[in-house]
Amino acid sequence: MDRSIDPGVAGLRVSVPAAGVAMIELDRPARRNALDRAMLDGLPLVLRRLDADDEVRVIVLTGAGGSFCAGGDLDVIGDLVGESPQQARQRMAREFSSTSVLASSDKPTIAAIEGAAVGAGMGLALACDVRLGSGTTRFSSPFVKMALVPDFGVSWLLAQAVGAGRAAEIALTGRTILAAEALRIGLLDSIVDDPVAAAVAKGELLAAAPPHVCRATKRLIRAARGRSLDEAIDLEIDEQILALRHEEFDRRWRAWSEQIRRR
């Protein structure tokens, strides 16, 4: 049953490992699947295409090479500094829409998470309905260490997953959450030996459910929430533009990027 679909985006692979299940693989393993410009621009388009495909009933998101996603590529983050507020807003609104497409999809979405889900990677994971991890899974929202605010919907999605108080502690410290804690506080739904295999198996189960029931169920769950993700993302963009222009950003971002590059 497994077959490939050309997404037309470098750094992304799409396959159909089971009937009704489409799997997107972030495929830059040498950079722990950090999102470069092509992936940031292309991922929302691929997600929308799969969401509109009636043959696709479940979407699985994962990463290649033992990592889920290390966030935005360092070069991409650095490019934001030279942009005008209008340019930065337009770009971030386009790129950050991946999380809102995932979260607003009428189809069940599953994240198969091995290794790091950091920053934007954490946002993508949290935007999925089901999150399956392994013993290697770890989450972090390290924006504060770069003198930035959470983006990619993390401020909203993290609070939805673990509550406002715990979300604030995680975001304000930028600390790493290992798999056992992630399971305990609700960032993961389960820990398994092979998250991808488990995600495909669960995807098959969900794909067998009536699509209209899945859609209605997800609409009900979304309706219970107070503020929309798009509103949260809009606020994030305003704050991110301000943070990018603060004097503290340049120093902290340089120190952070140098530390990451030495790993």
pLDDT digits (tens, 9 = 90+) for 86-97: 999 999 999 999
Question: What's the whole-number average pLDDT of the chain?
Answer: 93
Provide the pLDDT confidence category of residue 1 given band limits of 50, 70 and 90.
very low
Of 59 and 260, which is predicted with more confidence? 59
Q: What percentage of the chain carries pLDDT values higher than 70?
A: 98
Of 30 and 224, which is predicted with more confidence? 30
| Tokens (6 digits) for 65 | 């090479």
Angle between helices 85-95 and 97-104 (to 10 degrees): 30
Q: What is the pLDDT of residue 67?
A: 97
- Is the pTM higher than 0.85? The answer reads yes
The Cα 50–Cα 245 span in angstroms is 37
The Cα 254–Cα 160 span in angstroms is 31
pLDDT of 2 over the 70 cut: no
Q: What is the pLDDT of residue 3?
A: 65
Q: What is the CATH number of domain 3-261?
A: 3.90.226.10
Q: What is the pLDDT of residue 59?
A: 98
Break the chain into its structural domains and give their ranges.
3-261
Contacts of 205 (CB under 8 A, 6+ apart): none
Of 224 and 121, which is predicted with more confidence? 121
Average confidence (pLDDT) over 152-160: 96
